[in-house]
Amino acid sequence: MMVAIQKNIFIFKITRMLLTRSVNLKVKEMVDTPKKGHKPIDDLEVPPIYWWPPKPLKASKYLIVDLLFPYGWFYLFLALIFWFYLTPNKEQMITLNFSWILPIWLRNFLLLFAIAGGLHWLLYIKQNQGSVFKFNGSWLAVNNRRFLFKNQVRDNMFWSLISGVTIWTLYETLILWSFANEWCQIVRWDEAPIYLSLLAFSSFFWGTFHFWLVHRLLHWPPLYKIAHDLHHRNINVGPWSGISMHPIEHILYFSGLLIFFLVPAHPVLLIFLGFQYAILPAFSHSGFEKVVLFNKFTINVGNYFHQFHHKYFEVNYGNPLAPIDKILDTWHDGSDDATKFFRSKQKKILIKLSNWVRIYERIFLQKSSPL
């Protein structure tokens, strides 16, 4: 009897050790090397769904667990709440009117404020975990003239809430108005549950591909100078950096929602896709790979892949889900060899970019800067 009890206690301790991720060692490492920043153990690789020869079990795990948990299910649940309780009925939306547009803007504003603000409070104000899992050893900029109000956080909040939420809401209300007037075809869940479920799942792929497409366009030198440079001021990113963009970039970025003019769907999927565009970047730009909960458990938040784009600019334009960067040789996997290669490439690109900017200034701004 005692042997059985001791055996069960041993199994319990082993299980607890596996499930409980102690971060005390990580804390010590990060305190000792604050400027180095956190680097995940494994280099970045293409998702298992693209591996050859195929690995069915790993591919299935990636699609069902890694892709959907926890954020996919969270966004879908939130989209249902927003549709049933925080979106006007069809009769109201037939006519464009501020009486129903403003409440949508307000609920979007409050949602972004709660999530980005909550992450910022937890990671940057309260600093419960210090710099553990923080990609960049430095903290966000203050007293820096590159940012509005000389403050990175206030600058990011302004562009995210005033421009970002407004343009997101304009796209959303335009498409809801079109659904109400049947200019966008509505498919009911009781009519085609499998089709709509697959559409919800494929929205991740569409959002990733569209992001890559728009992002590459934004790196066209003239457009980069007048718009995208504002986002790239955030070399060291935080939760409010996610959709801190110039209004021109917001217009291009959220244009992926226009897919519903072409693809029949239910309006809840519009809200669902909107969350992927507007809310997901708060997590991916958090600046931390993981958030530590109760000093024991961790949850993934950061996007190490995109972190390299903010560091080196001309790499990792998309996301691993649609590995176009791998095909076009702009994939930085986090290795030292990749860093050396792209640093050399970056110098050449910066020279080319500088020449393009001077040409743009001469033609459009009537300046006579020599090439």
**CB 105 within 8 Å of CB 86:** no
Q: Measured between alpha carbons, how far is 82 from 273 in angstroms, rounded to an integer?
A: 13
Print the SS3 string covering 48-85: HHHCCCCCHHHHHHHHHHHCCCCHHHHHHHHHHHHHHH
Tens of pLDDT along the chain (371 residues) come to 444 444 444 434 433 443 333 333 344 344 433 467 888 877 899 999 999 999 999 999 999 999 998 899 999 999 999 999 999 999 999 999 999 999 999 999 999 999 999 999 999 999 989 999 999 989 999 999 999 999 999 999 999 999 999 999 999 999 999 999 999 999 999 999 999 999 999 999 999 999 999 999 999 999 999 999 999 999 999 999 999 999 999 999 999 999 999 999 999 999 999 999 999 999 999 999 999 988 888 999 999 999 999 988 889 999 999 999 999 999 999 888 888 887 777 677 677 777 877 887 778 776 554 54
Q: To which residue do tokens 């060899």 refer? A: 337
- Give me the phi and psi of 265, to 5 degrees please: -160, 175
For 43, left (φ over 0), alpha (ψ -120 to 50), or beta?
beta
Q: Measured between alpha carbons, how far is 15 from 370 in angstroms, rounded to an integer?
A: 68
**CB 362 within 8 Å of CB 369:** yes
Q: Measured between alpha carbons, how far is 16 from 11 in angstroms, rounded to an integer?
A: 8
Quick one: 304 exposed, middle or buried, by C-beta within 10 A (0-12, 13-18, 19+)? Answer: buried
Measured between alpha carbons, how far is residue 289 from residues 87, 233, 264, 300 in Å? 34, 21, 36, 6
Q: Measured between alpha carbons, how far is 149 from 137 in angstroms, rounded to an integer?
A: 23
For the chain, what is the total number of helices (H) and then of strands (E)? Answer: 17, 2
Q: Whole-prediction pTM value?
A: 0.85
Q: Measured between alpha carbons, how far is 22 from 28 in angstroms, rounded to an integer?
A: 12
Measured between alpha carbons, how far is residue 340 from residues 286, 304, 327 in Å? 26, 18, 19
